[in-house]
Amino acid sequence: MTLSPGIREIMQKGPVIPVVTIEHLDHAIPIADALAEGGISVIEVTLRSPVSMDSIAAIAKNRPGMTVGAGTVLNPEQMKSAKDAGADFAVSPGAYPKLVQSSVDCGLPLLPGAATASEMMTLMAMGITAMKFFPATAAGGSGYLKALAAPLAEAEFCPTGGITPETAADWLALPNVICVGGSWLAPNHVLAAGDFAVITDHARACATLG
């Protein structure tokens, strides 16, 4: 299996990858612009709403400076749809060989999820060293991931799940963490209110984390 390159470079674009569930298509561009205004150039749009794929397509087409990922990719069909929509990368909460193979077949960089040493070792055996540690807080927190740094020295992570502005710095201080993911930049209540300036404020605050 020849792995598609690029996910590590995307992880290095900033300390935080915002995870956003877009419920209204006309929010897609304002959200991307609000993040960009705050200095963030990567967005993960979860495939958890009816307009997710169209939102990814809108951002990919109209905001080429924004690196847009499809989140919650669970199967090869969604991988292909995300690629066709113009996504730059895909994120999955877990992984299995057919899913990884589909990312290779599409040429879509994948950030696959793993929560245990065995899951991480399985990915490493497939040639994957950049992973999403998910669900980061519930699976064991930063102490758990720190404990894996020595035995799994090649693995590098984007912890996601339960991370807050208050805890992000602890995660980013770990030697095996490149960036963190989180929904706190654009939470549902902020999106429901259409308060995009708040998203910019949250994005700006991330600059001091990394």
Residues within window 170-189 making contact with ligand 3PG, judged by CB under 6 A: 182-183
Q: Is 44 a catalytic residue?
A: yes
Residue range at the interface with ligand 3PG (CB under 6 A); choices 55-63, 94-102, 120-128, 161-169: 161-169
Residue 79, both tokens: 């991988």
The answer to whether 92 contacts ligand 3PG (rule: CB under 6 A) is: no
Within 10 angstroms of residue 192's Cβ, the number of other Cβ atoms is 11
The answer to whether 55 contacts ligand 3PG (rule: CB under 6 A) is: no
Choose the catalytic residue: 9, 83, 132, 166: 132
The answer to whether 162 contacts ligand 3PG (rule: CB under 6 A) is: yes
Q: Is 166 a catalytic residue?
A: no
φ/ψ region of 127 (left if φ > 0, alpha if ψ in -120 to 50, else beta) reads left
| Nearest CB to ligand 3PG, comparing residues 134 and 157 | 134
Choose the catalytic residue: 9, 23, 44, 83: 44
Contacts with ligand 3PG by CB under 6 A: the residue count is 11
Residue 44, both tokens: 């993960």
Tell me if 70 sits within 8 A of 52, measured CB to CB. Answer: yes
Residues within window 10-39 making contact with ligand 3PG, judged by CB under 6 A: 19
Minimum Å gap between C-beta 42 and ligand 3PG is: 14
**Interface with ligand 3PG by CB under 6 A: which residues?**
19, 46, 71-72, 134, 160-163, 182-183
Give the catalytic positions in this structure.
44, 132
